[in-house]
Amino acid sequence: MQSETILEGVLLKRSQQKKKISPANYKERLFVFTQRSLAYYDFDKEKRGCRKGSIDIKKIRCVETVNPEECTPVERQYPFQIVYKEGLLYVYATNQENRRQWLETLLKEIKDNPFLLNKYHPGFFTNGKFLCCNQSCKTAPGCAIWEPYNTLRDPSNSKEHLPGNLKPKRPSLPPIPGEGKSSLGIAVAEHDYGPQDKSDISLMKNQKYHISSDKDPDWWKVGDADGKETGRSEDTSAEKERLQDYEWYVGDISRAQCEQLLRQKGKEGAFMVRNSSQVGKYTVSVFSVAVENKSGAVKHYHIHTNSENKIYLAQDHCFDSVPKLIIYHQHNSAGLLTRLRHPVSTKAKKVPSTAPLGNGPWELRRTDIVLTKELGSGQFGVVQLGKWKGEYDVAVKMIRESSMSEDEFLEEAQVMMNLSHPKLVQLYGMCTEKYPIYIVTEFMSNGSLLSYLKDHGKELQPFQLLEMCYNVCEAMEFLEHHQFIHRDLAARNCLVDNDLAVKVSDFGMGRFVLDDQYISSVGTKFSVKWSAPEVFHYSKFSSKSDVWAFGILIWEVFSLGKQPYELYDNTQVVEKVSQGYRLYRPQLSSEEIYEIMCSCWNELPEQRPTFHQLLSWMESFREDDSDDRP
Ligand code: AMP
């Protein structure tokens, strides 16, 4: 039975960029809006063609305008967005009036929908992030108030007459501490940055800042948590000068040496940027496995400059700095042999510049840290919130004497400090000259993932649970790529940031715990329930044993923080798992997600997926309908 058409018209639709690598494209579609669905069709010679996609009206959560992107052609001046359960659709109306009509009509029909959002993103999601707030997850909570929400949720508009269990449910997200300082969003500093004049503040790598003005195309005005502002922040012109800060920049090496290094790496998309034989020019060299009788090939691409002084590898994609060009081609092959996936470096790992003092290069001055409150306690002792240099929130792990094998830890610390990824809790430095030793890390305002799930899990929707797992998978893929084994991956060892992003913490730390209960397999703290069979039988850790633990973590997330195998003790778990017993499917998990968990629990490590594979599987669940790919 077809329901009656409420509104119909030809609009421009932007492709949904389900894969980060697919560039946006725009197609004319006939949109047909009925009480049931918003469907869009091929449209050729004034005739409706085949259906390309459809959104169930009940699943729509927000409809709103979007700020047009810079230098937008006339036909794309009136964009609007439809946020729905499985995705985000951008459509361009023909003019202002046409857009107003679509938005009003849509709003009328969705006003009683159960999961309307109270916040939205005023900027487009482009090339892997929202232009308004830089969040990199498509389902990240909005950064600006969605005004119509308040009107729609006015008690006088609500369905009070419905019996209790039929009232629309509206789970509100838990409050996000520190938000609301800026409608423009948050920026994360990529480098330390010293003040250039008196009006500037210094920026600390990985610290977050509120963007208070983005008027200047090159410079943002940002403020720190205390409201201090700087006239400038990270910018592209500064980046231009600092190619040597990038892992992929190798400077002067010969073509032969470059090919040797890339082949040695042997990974699809291994790449580096080197100085070209022409002074002041650069060459991007990339390796692909999939060509030339499977032995792979290295191709060298010169970075060209066009008449407007912009640089490019593919003529249609021009940039004003090498880092920007590389970032683009990390997501888009756009004519290259393959996209740039794995930077290959010739440099020794760098020491972060937050750590200039004391015994080791990581040493921080204890007097620069003021402890303000207790955050929790773990295997090594108490964790406190602190202010570093009076300005920056940090978490300080206070290591009790004899709770850690300190020498081994200090040996490893530098490796751990150099592991820097947006989804890893950043280790900033340490104070090691006396007890308690301080381990200073990034502060995560929503605390441990496990307690967050227990306290707020019911307020989260399955897509947000999936997003949390995806965040963890991103971090783990990074560790896997750097051949670093976590050894104790579990929800209790992940932390939740103020925007609900989840980051992996305590990587590698399990090795340094001096606690019999923790280390021994009969001890209550040993993570048997997260351990793969080869771990509890032979202590054989690998990235594949991390994959097993990741499967358990997905289970924890979709069970909202339940204890795995809650009816069994460690000994019984060893027995049961060895016999092939596996955890059941949590109610909130779809069959597909449960299949992912089960694949992580393959008895044979080599038959478990890698994090790299897991990431692409999970990415496909985050994506919505796949029409209109270029
Ligand atoms: P851990 O010693 O890592 O197990 O930490 C113990 C508890 O301290 C965690 O469960 C969190 O509640 C809290 N905590 C640890 N690190 C941080 C951090 N970086 N930011 C916020 N809270 C933290």
Residue pLDDT, tens place only, 242-276: 787 788 888 888 888 888 888 888 888 899 999 98
Asked, for residue 179, whether it belongs to a domain, the answer is: no
Compute the mean pLDDT over every residue in the chain, rounded to the nearest whole number: 79
Q: Give percent of the chain above pLDDT 70.
A: 76
Q: Is 226 in contact with 195 (CB distance < 8 Å)?
A: no
The H or E element spanning position 62 is strand 60-65
Average pLDDT over residues 49-60: 88
Same structural domain for residues 423 and 316?
no
Catalytically annotated residues: 488
pLDDT at 562 over 60: yes
Most confident of 67-71, 204-208, 232-236, 562-566: 562-566
Establish if 172 belongs to a structural domain. Answer: no
* In the predicted structure, residue 524 carries a pLDDT above the cut 80: no
> Per-residue pLDDT tens for 337-391?
888 888 888 764 333 333 333 456 678 999 999 999 999 988 788 999 999 988 8
Residue 180, token pair as written in the block? 């609301």
Does the pLDDT of residue 518 top 90, yes or no?
no
568-581 pLDDT, tens per residue?
A: 999 999 999 999 99
Pocket of ligand 1 (CB under 6 A): 375-380, 383, 395, 397, 425, 441-444, 447-448, 495, 505-506
Which residue from 208, 372, 379, 383 has its CB within 8 A of the most atoms of ligand 1, so it is best to mutate? 383
Asked if residue 264 and residue 147 are part of one domain, the reply reads no
> Each residue of 60-107: pLDDT tens digit?
989 999 988 877 888 888 999 999 877 899 999 999 899 999 999 999
- If asked whether residues 331 and 279 sit together in one domain, one would say yes
Residue 605 has pLDDT above 90, yes or no: yes
Instruction: Tell me, yes or no, whether 470 and 595 share the same domain.
Output: yes
Residue nearest to atom 21 of ligand 1 (CA): 444
> Are residues 147 and 205 located together in one domain of the fold?
no
The domain boundary residue, chosen from 442, 477, 505:
442
Q: Determine the structural domain holding residue 330 and report its residue range.
A: 248-343
**Number of domains forming the structure of the chain:** 5
Question: What is the structure's pLDDT at 432?
Answer: 86
Nearest to 365 by CA among 420, 443, 419, 428: 428
Region 184-192 average pLDDT? 52
Whole-angstrom distance, CA of residue 171 vs CA of residue 461 = 8
Assigned domain for 611 exists: yes
In this structure, is residue 455 part of a structural domain? Answer: yes
The per-residue pLDDT for range 106-161, each reduced to its tens digit, is 998 898 877 778 788 899 988 778 888 877 777 777 777 888 876 665 444 433 32
- Please give the distance, rounded to the nearest whole angstrom, from the Cα atom of residue 440 to the centre of ligand 1: 11
Domain of 213, CATH number, reads 2.30.30.40
Question: Do 225 and 329 have their domain in common?
Answer: no
- pLDDT, tens digit, for every residue of 480-501? 988 888 989 999 999 999 989 9
Q: Which residues contact 119 (CB under 8 A, 6 or more apart)?
A: 141, 142, 143, 144, 145, 146
